[in-house]
């Protein structure tokens, strides 16, 4: 019975429904909602049908949802539909932890299998269904992206549960496996993070994605006066969430409204304040004689970029990025941008290869050049772990006091909204380091770093005093 077509009569008889007038084969390969309801006997509400239809009709689907919407239930049926209706098909599922793979999504898949074992057949384990060597579904939990490489079959589906928490390296590996004409990916989860592939699917990289939003107020139990679906979110739970967390809280935004938070609990600059600074008419235009200053975050090769931020007074005039530059090329681009805007002062992150850029710019002697080592001690070491923390806290104050104007650049906004902070055991503010970002599989916040350098208070003299 495996293949694109199923005979509806035998399939319906498995769930106790007779339909003698339907004897011709029925193609469910492009109608998963009908397959799930008529063949597998599930009861779906409208958003669940919408998800199923979206996967059938789009290559990339991202679903951000409240708690208790039935999104994982739906994803499990997507897995079974694909496996049964697509010939020699493969399904790869993942989630941030082994527990989430085995005990959440695959628990639902196992339940569906046991209810329809005569239809599905094959060999079931805790995290796999194997029909044959080229026809299977498997759940993977790993921080090793290479485990997701090498899948290039014609009919392949990737399902990512709790998508906000999955490492970026995994997403890069999945994209490398989506080269076939009938490859698809479904991302589902709560919108807990302000950066990464899941966030980008709804923001700066939304064009390839079909997106679906599910608020608690969209669900059937909150659309009527009675609880019709006991497994879904209830009015009582929403009322308790409002009372316990408050409607402006991180938890309420994410868990109830399915919105990306205006800021997470460890985010330095609230997204609301960042967006207010974008095109904010209340900030005065800089006077013509305002000094133009550059902030430069230098990268050599690989995925990181050299970023140059240009500002005059409180206003950011431009942010330019360059990839795969050597030291001399990076210095040349800084010279070009500085001349274009008439820069007076250039601050360069001098850690690593940035030192070479500082030396070359000093040699040329056209601008005042300040090499900034952000790991150095802060001017106020009692409150800041290093100069990086002090520099970003100064940037935070500018946003809070509406003393900065930034361009409408989605990537810059995403980077700024994702800056995380913590406190040392001595109570000093600490900003997440680039190496910490890389350990989580995320890219360098090059544009945010260049912006912070452009607005830093450091000069040659201040660094002489501090060190």
Q: What is the pLDDT of residues 58-102, one digit of tens each?
A: 999 999 999 999 999 999 999 999 999 998 899 999 998 899 999
Contacts of 101 by beta carbon, 8 Å cutoff, 6+ apart: 93, 94, 95, 127, 139, 140, 141, 161
Question: Which tokens go with 287?
Answer: 């006077």
Give per-residue burial for 217-239: e unless 16+ CB within 10 Å, then b. Answer: ebbbbbeeeeeeeeebbbbebbe
**CATH class label, 271-466:** alpha beta
Question: Which tokens go with 96?
Answer: 């941030």
What pLDDT shows up at residue 25?
60
- At 68, is the secondary structure helix, strand, or coil? coil
- Nearest 5°: the CA angle 186, 191, 194 is 110
What pLDDT shows up at residue 289?
63
Q: What distance in Å separates the CA atoms of residue 319 and residue 305, rounded to the nearest whole number?
A: 12
Profile the chain (467 residues) by mean pLDDT over runs of 10 residues. Answer: 40 37 65 95 94 96 94 96 91 92 95 91 93 91 76 85 90 86 93 86 89 95 86 93 84 87 76 79 51 92 84 95 92 96 95 93 94 92 93 94 91 86 85 77 85 85 50
Q: What distance in Å separates the CA atoms of residue 45 and residue 216, rounded to the nearest whole number?
A: 13
- At 456, is the secondary structure helix, strand, or coil? coil
Question: Which tokens go with 39?
Answer: 């063949």
* Number of alpha helices (DSSP H) and beta strands (DSSP E) in the chain: 20, 17
| Domain boundaries of the chain, sorted by first residue | 5-214, 271-466
Element (H, E) at 157: strand 155-160
Element (H, E) at 199: helix 197-201
- What is the number of other CB atoms lying within 10 angstroms of the CB of residue 417? 27
Three-state secondary structure of 345-398:
EEEEECCCCHHHHHHHHHHHCCCEEEEECCCCCCCCCCCECCHHHHHHHHHHHH
What pLDDT shows up at residue 302?
61
CA 317 centroid distance within chain: 27
Q: What distance in Å separates the CA atoms of residue 319 and residue 376, rounded to the nearest whole number?
A: 25
What pLDDT shows up at residue 2?
42
What pLDDT shows up at residue 14?
35
What pLDDT shows up at residue 265?
67
Q: Where are the beta strands (DSSP E) in 201-291?
A: 210-214
Q: Would you say 36 and 112 are in contact if contact means Cβ atoms under 8 Å apart?
A: no
| Fold agreement between 5-214 and 271-466 | no
What pLDDT shows up at residue 16?
35
What pLDDT shows up at residue 462?
55
CATH topology of domain 5-214: Rossmann fold (3.40.50)
452 closest CA partner among 295, 337, 319, 312: 295
């Amino acid at each position: 019975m495996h293949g694109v077509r199923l005979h509806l009569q035998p399939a319906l008889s498995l769930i106790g429904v007779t339909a003698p007038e339907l004897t011709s084969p029925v193609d469910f390969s492009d109608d998963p909602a009908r397959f799930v309801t008529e063949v597998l006997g599930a009861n779906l509400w409208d958003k669940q049908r919408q998800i199923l239809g979206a996967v059938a009709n789009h290559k990339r689907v991202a679903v951000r949802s409240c708690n208790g919407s039935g999104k994982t239930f739906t994803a499990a049926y997507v897995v079974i539909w694909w496996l049964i209706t697509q010939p020699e098909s493969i399904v790869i599922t993942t989630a941030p932890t082994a527990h989430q793979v085995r005990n959440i999504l695959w628990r639902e898949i196992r339940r569906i299998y046991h209810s329809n074992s005569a239809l599905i057949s094959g060999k079931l384990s805790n995290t796999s269904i194997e029909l044959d060597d080229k026809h299977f579904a498997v759940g993977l939990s790993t921080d090793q992206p290479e485990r997701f490489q090498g899948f290039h079959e014609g009919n392949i589906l990737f399902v990512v549960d709790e998508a906000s928490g999955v490492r970026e390296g995994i997403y890069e590996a999945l994209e490398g496996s989506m080269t076939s004409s009938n490859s698809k990916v479904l991302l589902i989860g709560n919108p807990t993070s302000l950066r990464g592939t899941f966030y980008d699917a709804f923001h700066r990289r939304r064009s390839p994605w079909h997106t679906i939003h599910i608020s608690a107020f969209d669900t059937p139990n909150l659309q009527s006066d009675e609880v019709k679906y006991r497994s879904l979110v209830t009015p009582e739970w929403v009322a308790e969430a409002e009372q316990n967390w408050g409607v402006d809280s991180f938890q309420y935004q994410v868990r109830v409204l399915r919105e990306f938070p205006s800021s997470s609990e460890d985010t330095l600059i609230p997204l609301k304040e960042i967006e207010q600074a974008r095109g904010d008419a209340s900030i005065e235009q800089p006077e013509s004689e305002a000094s133009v200053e550059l902030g430069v975050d230098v990268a050599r090769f690989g995925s990181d970029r050299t970023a140059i931020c240009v500002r005059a007074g409180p206003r950011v005039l431009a942010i330019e990025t360059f990839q795969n530059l050597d030291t001399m090329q990076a210095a040349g681009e800084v010279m070009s941008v500085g001349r274009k805007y008439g820069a007076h002062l250039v601050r360069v992150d001098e850690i690593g290869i940035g030192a070479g850029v500082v030396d070359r710019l000093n040699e040329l002697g056209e601008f005042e050049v300040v090499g900034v080592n952000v790991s150095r001690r802060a001017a106020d070491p009692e409150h800041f772990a290093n100069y990086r923390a002090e520099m970003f806290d100064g940037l935070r104050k500018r946003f809070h006091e509406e003393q900065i104007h930034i361009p409408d650049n989605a990537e810059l906004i995403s980077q700024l909204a994702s800056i995380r902070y913590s406190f040392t055991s001595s109570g000093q503010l600490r900003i997440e380091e680039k190496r910490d970002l890389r350990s989580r599989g995320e890219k360098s916040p090059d544009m945010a770093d260049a912006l912070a350098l452009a607005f830093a208070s450091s000069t040659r003299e201040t660094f002489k005093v501090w060190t």
